[in-house]
Amino acid sequence: MTVCVRMGSVCLAALTLLLTVWNCDSESDTGGKSAITNESIQCGSIGPDSDKAVSLENEVVTLVNERRQVGADCGTGGIFGAAPPLTMNAQLQCAARAHTNDMVARNFFDHISPDGTDPFGRIENAGYVFSAAAENIAAGDTTAVEVVQGWMASDGHCANIMNPEFIHIGVGFANGDVSNTFGTYWTQTFGAP
């Protein structure tokens, strides 16, 4: 996979695997464009998986902001001092939920959807205009504490969480069913206008 990277790119063997960060001023072999579809995400039709999902999504934001308040050593991702809290953004929330629901519906776990849509295309299609954006995904974690701990233990995911450039966040959570590879799916999107 070719990505334009300024902040970092990490591929790990853990379950909360792949991180792709995009903040491009230069061009990749795709001409500097993300692989996106032309369809806008209909955010009004994308609700949470359940009331439990809303609670878990909100808890992730709270835990992330607690981590940002004290700073963190993200290993190869960098050392970060305290950063301002992130605020939930409806468009980033929509992009996160759309991807989480898509991973459940089509039983895949990746930043790139089977139709070729990447995180930045989803964020754009949800209507968020960004100068910087990132996405963390996870699967199998059953609590907000577990998923945030997993992301913080991964240098690249930790760097996304701690990056002071980001001011907005969106979180999506959904339960899979017996046909899914993993029982739970998570997406976290970050942005700066």
Higher pLDDT: 2 or 27? It is: 27
b/e sequence 43-73, b meaning 16+ C-beta within 10 Å: beebebbeeebeebbebbbebbbebbeeebe
Percent of the chain with pLDDT over 90: 69
CA distance 161 to 168: 11
Tokens of 99: 């991807």
Residue 107: what pLDDT? 94
The mean-pLDDT minimum among 42-51, 69-78, 112-121 falls in 42-51
Residue 16: what pLDDT? 28
Bridge-partner residues for 88, per DSSP? Answer: 169
- Please give the single-letter amino acid code of residue 43: C
Q: Is the pLDDT of residue 106 over 90?
A: yes
pLDDT, one tens digit per residue, over 48-77 is: 657 888 999 999 999 999 999 999 999 999
Residue 171 is inside which H or E element, if any? Answer: strand 168-175
Average pLDDT over residues 26-44: 39
Residue 75 neighbours by CB distance under 10 Å: 14
CA distance 132 to 24: 8
Residue 82: what pLDDT? 98
pTM over 0.85: no
Q: Is the pLDDT of residue 149 over 50?
A: yes
The mean-pLDDT minimum among 21-25, 48-52, 114-118, 127-131 falls in 21-25
Residue 145: what pLDDT? 98
Which residue, among 17, 176, 6, has the nearest Cα to 105 in the 3D structure? Answer: 176
Average pLDDT over residues 79-95: 97
The CATH superfamily holding the domain 51-192 is CAP (3.40.33.10)
CA distance 113 to 136: 14
Average pLDDT over residues 41-48: 57
Residue 52: what pLDDT? 86
